[in-house]
Structure 1
């Protein structure tokens, strides 16, 4: 389900509940009103609230069973929170000043240093479904936010019971789709407390959030150390997810559980090196491949007059549907190490139209010039646009990818590969990436001066037409394929070409491949162990760090309606006992709260301004 559709359904449910509640209460429907009062249900526009007294006795029991621990824990919380209030205010102020200093002016060109600096996300950034939050991440974020809020309010409740303040009730609240918790404390009892016991209650929620964020951060860093018995690392980047509209999909494309080990001669050991290899290929010019002379002489389909296309790529092949030329054919340019004056000494045409997979299956070496190739080999690089790269991705298949038949030279002319355009696939089905992928993608785009559009002219060389692909439907005629494996024991007449036929060929922007293929460092040691479990648990831990840390930060600053306001008011009253009159105390409270509220509001505006439609994949038709 598209995330916008899901949000529309949630809005419809809220409106329906509010209208129904209003009608039933207006009609004095007694059974309904009894149920609402029993549940403590309050329905407002796009807001639901439920409260109960069921936990009052249990809270008192927990408080009295561990009196010394709770007393020490709450006292330590007061000291930590008071020590962090001033640094939190300076941190938020720095965030605003830094954004004002680094925000690009209209005269700044894309790719400038100011533009690169502005790509860094602000300290506080709103989570907006459909912009920087995908539907896959939404359940995790909602659950972690709810747990963080419950732990925050549990701190207030336990501290209140410990200090002799009765809890009037606890409950849950839903603001549209955002869940939260709350505790009802009698205001008269709170006002009658001395300053330090009152601070224990007010700081308990913030302190619990700080502790939760610290534990989650520690667990996220220790998980790799604890995973050595279940997972192995350093063998490559393990594919854990391929987005539905990724050009890397296809019968000869990537599969979940494939181990990526090389990209155009760049070794891949883990997810970091996978990203670095894609960035290297993105920044550098298209690399060549050492193709045997025999392959060129037997498979060349070059037309007489080559032409330069609009993208800057040389076109030396007939149209894809022309006779004897399949859509897998590419125009390869000869990379020589001789000067232009000696170009006539090279014994071959500067451009050759070759079937990409058949040519590269005999080309194990990546090169930048013919001198780097073995004897009787030429360094040929596909002529692609400035925004494209031809990537050969070496992988160790762990799925059924090895079952896809290889095509021999005899059938290369009849082999037709269908184009896979990313812009068409993204129409109406936008794929949202995680914040980490989006951040790295922005860094990639920034380093090439915003010249790349990862959704332009991308196609896969790994998709065969459905009537010819045995992996897409059952009952296909397998006899029309010539297999490289001739015997049951796996022997073949072409040992060198066999592993290269397992390679994935990708033509397009490396940024789109980076965006739509999710990889992991952890390879399960046993087939019963879940793939990507470590990353998922780390992601949950980092969600707790984000939400619990954000709750702590916003409740430390004296913002109206938050814990910080009441903490600041208590500190002002405590410090002004016997020194200031009530009017001065009231003015000081108002000024401090106004400054803190303005600071929070400015940081939220900075976060909103950093969001744009370009953060999500573009929608084209």
Structure 2
């Protein structure tokens, strides 16, 4: 993604973007309504593409993967039975944990405890509300993680169903507004007539697969440095990922994307945290001085007043420097070529004694809040910036990953890690949320089966079974709805 596109996205109001998407959906639905009522070829095209269009919703369905899924399961039924039996055990262990989180969050709200949005457990619920607290420039990664998580979830249901001889009708994707999720459709009559263990395998498969996906993503994140090591290095500086178009560092002698920065003034930069610390250091500390020999000064010095040199820029690329001690001819200020002074200086100084060999310490004269910043890059000239260091922090985005090859960008590991991070959060959150006994969630069917199995041993009254199951699902639905509505109220109030 280009710097200009990043800048546009980051500065656009999220409401404005959602309105544009809503208008696009409305126009598409209007277009579809008109054509489907008067154009048979259009209707046939949609049927051929297996595409359905509704208001704010698109659905694509296919039977293309049915045979592949059947081939995977029929020849390895013993493995899949063991695999999904493990999923049943793990899901049953997660069920009380999910209920405890939900009850604790509800208790915190009712007892007026600190805002549940600040609690780690509440992040599980926030993840099921698309776009909440997600930077606009990361929405694409969030949607990708959501799509992968739901695809893996539904794949679990499909594999389990086919392994239990339950017919798989179709698979597909639904785009609701900007959120895309996967789905599978199986034969419900066959599912409900199957043994309880088979039903549990099918209904727990989605939660189980979400847990597996979250663990896989977490492992990739943990071993990311080792995996990227042949292509990227770390702790050797920071790589410039992108620069906003309003950055004062853009120019022929400024920073460029993919530059590797290893020092800012006298502050070493090995990673992004040190980059932040060094930029903050330049804000807090006064401008450094630069050591220069008397021979150098005799060659370049030009006597002038500080006002002439600094305000009128009488000589291009020159800056007014102040001598901390007078030269033999009592010079106090001199207009000198800034880049030459800074690059020839072997070290920074605060007083003359910091300079070796009797050299002079020269201090640049600039406005009080303006700083002279020397940004050192690998295999390139230093970038000299005279301005406000906050502009560096706000308009330059860096990465810890430094590419070993010119054709590789640090965007790859950064974006991959971002997607993996969202997968960990969303897939684990989806597992915890989906196991709650709530209508239209997998937990609804899982709890039905478990309660029926548990009560069958002691009480054989079917009406009592149904009442207990219904009460449990109503309670779970109300608790979840209460917490979601409360968080939305807190967010937008």
Both structures adopt the same fold (TM-score exceeding 0.5): yes
| Matching residue of 1:17 | 28
User: What is the deviation of 1:264?
Assistant: 1.8
User: What is the deviation of 1:590?
Assistant: 0.9
Indicate how the Cα distance of structure 1 residues 36 and 378 shifts in structure 2: closer, same or farther if over 3 A, else same. Answer: closer
Indicate how the Cα distance of structure 1 residues 302 and 201 shifts in structure 2: closer, same or farther if over 3 A, else same. Answer: farther
Q: Distance in 2 between matches of 1:133 and 1:102?
A: 27
User: What is the deviation of 1:355?
Assistant: 6.0
| Matching residue of 1:43 | 53
User: Match of 1:361, SS?
Assistant: helix
| Matching residue of 1:221 | 222
* 2:400 is aligned with 1:520: yes
Indicate how the Cα distance of structure 1 residues 40 and 101 shifts in structure 2: closer, same or farther if over 3 A, else same. Answer: same
Q: Distance in 2 between matches of 1:605 and 1:533?
A: 37
Q: Distance in 2 between matches of 1:26 and 1:9?
A: 26
User: What is the deviation of 1:514?
Assistant: 5.8
Cα pair 2:293 2:360 within 8 Å, conserved = yes
The two structures have a TM-score, normalised by structure 2, of: 0.78
Q: Distance in 2 between matches of 1:163 and 1:230?
A: 45
User: What is the deviation of 1:170?
Assistant: 1.7
Q: Distance in 1 between matches of 2:172 and 2:385?
A: 55
Cα pair 2:131 2:139 within 8 Å, conserved = no
User: Match of 1:229, SS?
Assistant: coil
Q: Distance in 1 between matches of 2:345 and 2:387?
A: 17
| Matching residue of 1:199 | 200
C-alpha RMSD over aligned residues: 4.1
Of 90-99 and 208-217, more deviation after overlay is shown by: 90-99
Cα pair 1:24 1:32 within 8 Å, conserved = yes
Q: Distance in 2 between matches of 1:591 and 1:128?
A: 27
Q: 2:93 aligns with which of 74, 77, 83?
A: 83
User: Match of 1:553, SS?
Assistant: helix
The two structures have a TM-score, normalised by structure 1, of: 0.64
Q: 1:587 aligns with which of 468, 471, 476?
A: 471
* 2:487 is aligned with 1:504: no
Indicate how the Cα distance of structure 1 residues 91 and 290 shifts in structure 2: closer, same or farther if over 3 A, else same. Answer: farther
Q: Distance in 2 between matches of 1:70 and 1:333?
A: 79
User: What is the deviation of 1:131?
Assistant: 6.8
Q: 2:84 aligns with which of 62, 74, 79?
A: 74
Q: How does 1:339-488 map to 2 (within 5 A)?
A: 356-374=338-356, 375-378=358-361, 380=363, 383-385=366-368, 389-397=371-379
Q: Distance in 1 between matches of 2:364 and 2:476?
A: 65
| Matching residue of 2:65 | 55
Cα pair 2:437 2:473 within 8 Å, conserved = no
Cα pair 1:167 1:184 within 8 Å, conserved = yes
User: What is the deviation of 1:381?
Assistant: 6.0
Of 243-252 and 373-382, more deviation after overlay is shown by: 373-382
| Matching residue of 2:188 | 187
Q: Distance in 2 between matches of 1:200 and 1:178?
A: 28
Q: Distance in 2 between matches of 1:529 and 1:26?
A: 51
Cα pair 1:335 1:379 within 8 Å, conserved = yes
Q: Distance in 1 between matches of 2:350 and 2:248?
A: 26
Q: How does 1:230-379 map to 2 (within 5 A)?
A: 230-282=231-283, 284-292=284-292, 295=297, 298-299=301-302, 301-303=304-306, 320=311, 322=312, 324=314, 329=319, 356-374=338-356, 375-378=358-361
User: What is the deviation of 1:141?
Assistant: 4.1
User: Match of 1:205, SS?
Assistant: helix
| Matching residue of 1:546 | 425
Residues 68-100 of structure 1, C-alpha deviations (whole Å, 9 max, x = no match) = 221111111121122123334444666784997
| Matching residue of 1:107 | none
Q: Distance in 1 between matches of 2:366 and 2:134?
A: 36
Cα pair 2:241 2:257 within 8 Å, conserved = yes
Q: Distance in 1 between matches of 2:372 and 2:123?
A: 35
Cα pair 1:382 1:390 within 8 Å, conserved = no
Of 79-88 and 512-521, more deviation after overlay is shown by: 512-521
Indicate how the Cα distance of structure 1 residues 157 and 385 shifts in structure 2: closer, same or farther if over 3 A, else same. Answer: farther
For structure 1, which runs of at least 5 residues remain unmatched after alignment? 105-116, 304-315, 337-346, 403-501, 611-621
Cα pair 2:290 2:349 within 8 Å, conserved = yes
Q: Distance in 1 between matches of 2:132 and 2:434?
A: 24
Residues 104-145 of structure 1, C-alpha deviations (whole Å, 9 max, x = no match) = 9xxxxxxxxxxxx89xx95635554997121xx555444443
Residues 17-64 of structure 1, C-alpha deviations (whole Å, 9 max, x = no match) = 31133234444x444444444554332211101223333333222221
User: Match of 1:546, SS?
Assistant: helix
Indicate how the Cα distance of structure 1 residues 574 and 251 shifts in structure 2: closer, same or farther if over 3 A, else same. Answer: same
Residues 295-338 of structure 1, C-alpha deviations (whole Å, 9 max, x = no match) = 599356445xxxxxxxxxxxx56774x362668646x68889xx
Q: Distance in 1 between matches of 2:133 and 2:488?
A: 18
User: What is the deviation of 1:396?
Assistant: 1.9
Cα pair 1:261 1:395 within 8 Å, conserved = yes
User: What is the deviation of 1:261?
Assistant: 1.7
* 2:133 is aligned with 1:133: no
Q: Distance in 2 between matches of 1:152 and 1:536?
A: 23
Cα pair 2:301 2:335 within 8 Å, conserved = no
User: What is the deviation of 1:587?
Assistant: 2.2
User: What is the deviation of 1:198?
Assistant: 2.0
* 2:441 is aligned with 1:562: yes
Q: Distance in 1 between matches of 2:447 and 2:384?
A: 61
Indicate how the Cα distance of structure 1 residues 262 and 544 shifts in structure 2: closer, same or farther if over 3 A, else same. Answer: same
Q: Distance in 1 between matches of 2:233 and 2:163?
A: 48
Cα pair 1:335 1:368 within 8 Å, conserved = no
Aligned length: 464
| Matching residue of 1:442 | none
